[in-house]
């Protein structure tokens, strides 16, 4: 049960990240966004 919740959260974050990355790619600043994401995760 707990594991399922973690997987759900992970899937949500992956989807959110993919959506944000696609959005940043369309605006053309994916590199700065990617660095920002890594810093946020750490």
In the chain, domain spans: 2-41
Does residue 42 or residue 16 have the better pLDDT?
16
What whole-number distance in Å separates Cα of residue 16 and Cα of residue 28? 18
* Rounded-to-5 percentages of helix, strand, coil across the chain: 90, 0, 10
Q: What mean pLDDT comes out for the span 8-15?
A: 83
Provide the 10 A C-beta neighbour count for residue 40.
7
Q: What mean pLDDT comes out for the span 6-22?
A: 81
Per-residue CA distances from 23 to 6, 26, 28, 31, 38 (Å): 25, 5, 9, 12, 17
pLDDT at position 15, please? Answer: 84
């Amino acid at each position: 049960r707990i594991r399922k919740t973690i997987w759900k959260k992970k899937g949500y974050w992956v989807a959110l990240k993919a959506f944000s990355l696609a959005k940043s790619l369309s605006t053309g600043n994916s590199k700065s966004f990617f660095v920002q994401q890594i810093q946020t995760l750490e």
